[in-house]
Structure 1
Amino acid sequence: MTHGQVIEALVANRLTSPAPLVRVEDWARCWAVEEVFGIGPELLNDDRLARALDAIAPHLDEIAGTVGARAISEFGIDVARLHWDMTSMSVHGAYPAEGQDEDFPLIGYGHPKDRRTDLKQVQAGLAVAADGGVPIHAKVFGGSAAEVSQVIGAMKDLRAMAATRDFLMVADSKLVSYANVSALLQAGVEFIAPAPAAQVGNEVYAALDLRQAVVVDWVPDRDADKPPEKRETYRVLEDTHVLNGPRKSDPPLTLRRILVHSTANAAGQQAARAKRLAKAAEEFGKLTTAAGGRHYRTREKIVARIGVIAAKRRVTSCLRWAVTENEHGAPVLAWHFDQAVLDAEAAIDGWYALLTCIPADRATPAEALIHYKSQGTVERCYHDFKGPLAVTPVSCSTTAVSPP
């Protein structure tokens, strides 16, 4: 077999019933690969698959770029708007650094999306066209690579592939850094991305008047069959956002800021808050009853427990409490939630911000939001290749751990 025949079989495997390399031979036998491709299943053993993958690895960027460009021209894919996102894939096993090839992304610790910080990972970036959600560019990154640092490289790759300077790049909040935004503006690439939470204070949302916001004429696919009164509603306002550089000499960057209110987000945040308050109230009620008893005889122990509950249930900002003594000198706990603080939190429920450099005459705030709402397309594409696979480490050292 040629390497091309092997890769063709692997592509077919990913599109039908993804399997680890050691099980592709069994897949080929069950899925009539010999009848379709003329390849005997016994030829698709893991050693042969590994040799093919090793052979194309040094040329992967060239191959991916060629395939993407060919798809764009062959099928007339509109690349005026491209969605970029990164994900992480956790792996079980030792994967020592000294046993990996430094010419390729290294498996290592990082900030995994699945929060499995106990596992090492590898990361992947994927770009899809808004036109049909067709994946046109993919890249692998090491486990420790900072996601925010990959935006400029992705932008350059996409611009080269699109063969035009005029395209819109939609990404998540990791795009928004001074270096990234500066590079995008200098390259003439327009973008839309959520503003990082740390860059837009709650006081901004608290000052907004929902009655002044414009209703967006757009319905999520998941609500298409629901009656109008049960559909998620979006409203938008607009102002400006100034992004300052790390040095005083860096010129400030002024962007359009689209302030979005989602009724579904608001309902979800309200429900989450109610759940946290209910659990905290239950635990504070038990502590109130136990105060002065065998386990909480001193003020110090009660105060320590209050801190644990408040931090765990995230109610520190609204919790008001006092520990006094009764006529017998035993500690007594009194507490309540500050309604004014809760009302202030509720006032900003449902709000978030998008940043963009698209000129106002080319996209209204509502249109900018609709562009961004297609970001879920790239996330859904990860389902095609991301999932739990029981892969045994190639090198079975004493420190390697095979998954169950």
Structure 2
Amino acid sequence: MGKRKNRSRHRTGQGPGGSIAKWRQGTLRSYSVGALPIINRILDRMQLEDILAAHLPGEDARTKIPTSHGVMLLIRNILIAREPLYGLGEWASRYAPDLLGLDAEQVTALNDDRSGRCLTRFFLADPAAIGLAATTWSVREFDVALDELHNDSTTITVHGAYRAADREVALGGRLLPAITFGHNKDHRPDLKQLLYILTLSHDGAVPVHFRVCSGNVPDDQTHQETWEVLRQLTGHPDFLYVADCKLATLDNMMYLHGHGGRFVTVLPRTRKEDDTFREQLAQGRIAWQPLWDKVDEHGQVVDRFSVSDAPTLTAEGFRLIWYHSTRKAELDVAARATSIRRALLELAALRAKLQSPRTRYREAAKIQAAVDHILDDHHVSQLIRVTLQDTPREIYRQDHRGRPGPDTRYIKEIKPRFDLQYDIDHEQMSDAERGDGVFPLVTNDRTLSEVDLLHAYKRQPLIEKRFEQMKTDFAIAPVWLKDSKRVNALLGVYYLALLAEALLERELRRAMQREGLDSLPLYPEGRDCSRPTTRRLIDVFDSVQRHEIHRSGEAPTVVVTELTPLQRRLLRLLGIPASDYGR
């Protein structure tokens, strides 16, 4: 193998920092500033660089970019632009190096290999431990409440075979999760995945813990280990742990209850208690009491919640409260209508195949299996009645080959043929409609009221919003990295970026609340935004630049884009001096 040649600047996409304009009297160098000073303020308060330096292994003397600096650069990039690793150097060259925590020589040295090696060293330092340390400090620094924590998971889809990573591997005292097939929540069962578990506080939807598991790990097997880490983080077991129905297994609920924990979850439809209640509902033996009206920002009622007047217990003895939502009832009706329509279309297509002279469906068992698949796939097996009719047909063929004549003999054959008859079972439809909008919550907390439990459960979509930000703003998936260690490390970097984003968003909203502001004109054309996000904040500062005028024999003159009234207002809310912004 020949000696490896150094990569050219053209290949890595890197050039001199900023953009340059020259004239006779000197040189003008312009850098992007954007929202970097705001992001740096949050990262400094998080003590993130110090935490990274404390956990990362020692640096080699030949290292041009320390791993902590490389990880911090990745976090800034994810928050602002989400460039791929090979474009990181070109992106960084547009910004003032000091705002990135680098010098000009380090910016020039950036390339995908160095970024990849930073990820490898970050993985060896245990991203989960670093994330927990960063969370522990940030919770104290920003006074984040930990009395109610929400947990959920999503799948991170990867592109590629990853044959060497399809099994868990013990590495450095830890298990490297397997990149393999599983229940893909992105609806891509053809691609391999990892399971990404996230827990956040109801206070500002701030992430407090993450885990990466093998792609084929069931969700219900992750809660006990996650809860133990959260108990370590909070220092006590009696925080309210809110999760979806995967928590509602005998082992999980008894484990949390036996260790002094409190939980709220949804009762699965597979439980016997669900069948019993819905039978009573169909018989008209359940009455509902008004509980809470949800209103929008204009004061309009968008949902009405009621609670059953007959509280019950689960088989384990936990509280079981049944709720009814008018909005959920509307969604249930629409979803059922869509499912029935799609099932009928597929049944019609199957029937057309049965009528074809070249049909391959000539066995009753095969046809019944196809029917069952359609009904089960759309969850309408109780709502559509399907009858399989045996309609054999007589055909006649010559007893020998050749052109038929007056003396040709014909043989009668009976060909098996089938037909489908189907219709909607309106009696079952009526029973299903009685259960529209109904959902059960299970808890072992005997002190919280029905409305408090409902509010806790209705905050669960906060975590879905964070997943949405990861997959849209951060573009976390699909993952294209080849090394599975770097894939896992990158997911840890995404957690730190998500933590910084949530804290910045929380700081701005709390400042608005302190000053009695209902909204800020962050949308195009100055339209009001009542719940500003970090993404909108970053976009507002996108035009800010720093200009350095260099003249021979003189100190550089630094000029920063004049801030708009809105930008100054935002900086005041965040407690950042406008006079020093970007300098």
Q: Which residue of 1 aligns with 2:511?
A: none
Task: Say which SS state the counterpart of residue 122 (structure 1) adopts.
Answer: strand
**Structure 2 Cα separation of the partners of residues 322 and 101 of structure 1:** 51
Is the CA contact 2:156–2:476 (under 8 Å) kept in the aligned structure 1?
A: no
Q: Which moved more, 1:107-116 or 1:296-305?
A: 296-305
Task: Say which SS state the counterpart of residue 156 (structure 2) adopts.
Answer: strand
- CA shift in 2, pair 1:65/1:324, >3 Å: closer
Q: Which moved more, 1:305-314 or 1:160-169?
A: 305-314
- CA shift in 2, pair 1:306/1:227, >3 Å: farther
Is the CA contact 1:194–1:355 (under 8 Å) kept in the aligned structure 2?
A: yes
Structure 1 residue 160 displacement after superposition:
0.8
- CA shift in 2, pair 1:286/1:183, >3 Å: closer
Q: Does 1:62 align with 2:129?
A: yes
Q: Which residue of 2 aligns with 1:378?
A: 463
Structure 1 residue 161 displacement after superposition:
0.6
- CA shift in 2, pair 1:262/1:298, >3 Å: same
Q: Which residue of 1 aligns with 2:153?
A: 86
Is the CA contact 2:197–2:210 (under 8 Å) kept in the aligned structure 1?
A: yes
- CA shift in 2, pair 1:391/1:73, >3 Å: closer
2:119 to 46, 53, 56: 53
**Structure 1 Cα separation of the partners of residues 80 and 357 of structure 2:** 59
Is the CA contact 1:20–1:391 (under 8 Å) kept in the aligned structure 2?
A: no
Structure 1 residue 23 displacement after superposition:
2.3
- CA shift in 2, pair 1:81/1:210, >3 Å: farther
Q: Does 1:215 align with 2:290?
A: yes
1:141 to 200, 213, 231: 213
**Equivalent residue letter for 2:126:** H
Is the CA contact 1:34–1:41 (under 8 Å) kept in the aligned structure 2?
A: no
Structure 1 residue 179 displacement after superposition:
1.6
Q: Which moved more, 1:210-219 or 1:109-118?
A: 210-219
Q: Does 1:274 align with 2:337?
A: yes
- CA shift in 2, pair 1:96/1:324, >3 Å: closer
Is the CA contact 1:72–1:78 (under 8 Å) kept in the aligned structure 2?
A: yes
- CA shift in 2, pair 1:19/1:142, >3 Å: farther
Structure 1 residue 49 displacement after superposition:
2.1
**Equivalent residue letter for 1:340:** E
Q: Which residue of 1 aligns with 2:428?
A: 341
**Equivalent residue letter for 2:78:** R
Task: Say which SS state the counterpart of residue 183 (structure 2) adopts.
Answer: coil
- CA shift in 2, pair 1:83/1:295, >3 Å: same
**Equivalent residue letter for 1:363:** L
Is the CA contact 1:296–1:302 (under 8 Å) kept in the aligned structure 2?
A: no
Is the CA contact 1:321–1:336 (under 8 Å) kept in the aligned structure 2?
A: no
Q: Which residue of 1 aligns with 2:305?
A: 234
- CA shift in 2, pair 1:334/1:112, >3 Å: closer
Structure 1 residue 339 displacement after superposition:
1.6
Is the CA contact 2:386–2:420 (under 8 Å) kept in the aligned structure 1?
A: no
Equivalent residues, number:
379
Is the CA contact 1:15–1:384 (under 8 Å) kept in the aligned structure 2?
A: no
- CA shift in 2, pair 1:334/1:110, >3 Å: closer
Q: Which residue of 1 aligns with 2:228?
A: 156
Q: Which residue of 1 aligns with 2:78?
A: 14
- CA shift in 2, pair 1:270/1:383, >3 Å: closer
Greater C-alpha Rg: 2
**Structure 1 Cα separation of the partners of residues 350 and 186 of structure 2:** 34
Task: Say which SS state the counterpart of residue 93 (structure 2) adopts.
Answer: helix
Q: Relative CO higher for 1 or 2, CA cutoff 8 Å, sep ≥ 6?
A: 2
**Structure 2 Cα separation of the partners of residues 286 and 88 of structure 1:** 33
**Structure 2 Cα separation of the partners of residues 210 and 19 of structure 1:** 59
Cα deviation code 1:297-316 (max 9, x no counterpart): 99967996676456425444
**Equivalent residue letter for 1:45:** N
Q: Which moved more, 1:140-149 or 1:169-178?
A: 140-149
Q: Which residue of 2 aligns with 1:365?
A: 450
Structure 1 residue 183 displacement after superposition:
1.4
**Structure 2 Cα separation of the partners of residues 163 and 85 of structure 1:** 21
Task: Say which SS state the counterpart of residue 465 (structure 2) adopts.
Answer: helix
How do 1:144-293 and structure 2 match up within 5 A? 144-199=216-271, 200-208=273-281, 212-219=287-294, 223-225=296-298, 227-228=300-301, 231-237=302-308, 239-243=311-315, 253-280=316-343
Is the CA contact 1:206–1:347 (under 8 Å) kept in the aligned structure 2?
A: no
Cα deviation code 1:31-75 (max 9, x no counterpart): 445554234433332222222222232332332221111111111
**Structure 2 Cα separation of the partners of residues 98 and 276 of structure 1:** 38
**Structure 2 Cα separation of the partners of residues 333 and 36 of structure 1:** 68
Q: Does 1:317 align with 2:392?
A: no
- CA shift in 2, pair 1:172/1:30, >3 Å: farther
With normalisation by structure 2, the TM-score equals 0.58
**Structure 2 Cα separation of the partners of residues 2 and 150 of structure 1:** 34
Is the CA contact 2:158–2:477 (under 8 Å) kept in the aligned structure 1?
A: no
Unaligned runs of 5+ in 1: 244-252, 396-404
**Structure 2 Cα separation of the partners of residues 54 and 293 of structure 1:** 60
- CA shift in 2, pair 1:4/1:263, >3 Å: same
**Structure 2 Cα separation of the partners of residues 322 and 122 of structure 1:** 43
Is the CA contact 1:92–1:120 (under 8 Å) kept in the aligned structure 2?
A: yes
**Equivalent residue letter for 1:141:** C
Q: Which residue of 1 aligns with 2:533?
A: none
**Structure 1 Cα separation of the partners of residues 267 and 142 of structure 2:** 34
**Structure 1 Cα separation of the partners of residues 346 and 122 of structure 2:** 58
**Structure 1 Cα separation of the partners of residues 419 and 220 of structure 2:** 50
**Structure 1 Cα separation of the partners of residues 211 and 349 of structure 2:** 53
Cα deviation code 1:201-228 (max 9, x no counterpart): 34422423697323232526xx444733
Is the CA contact 1:190–1:357 (under 8 Å) kept in the aligned structure 2?
A: yes
Unaligned runs of 5+ in 2: 1-64, 395-413, 484-583
Q: Which moved more, 1:329-338 or 1:27-36?
A: 329-338
**Equivalent residue letter for 1:55:** R
**Structure 2 Cα separation of the partners of residues 224 and 62 of structure 1:** 40
How do 1:90-129 and structure 2 match up within 5 A? 90-97=157-164, 102-103=170-171, 104-129=176-201
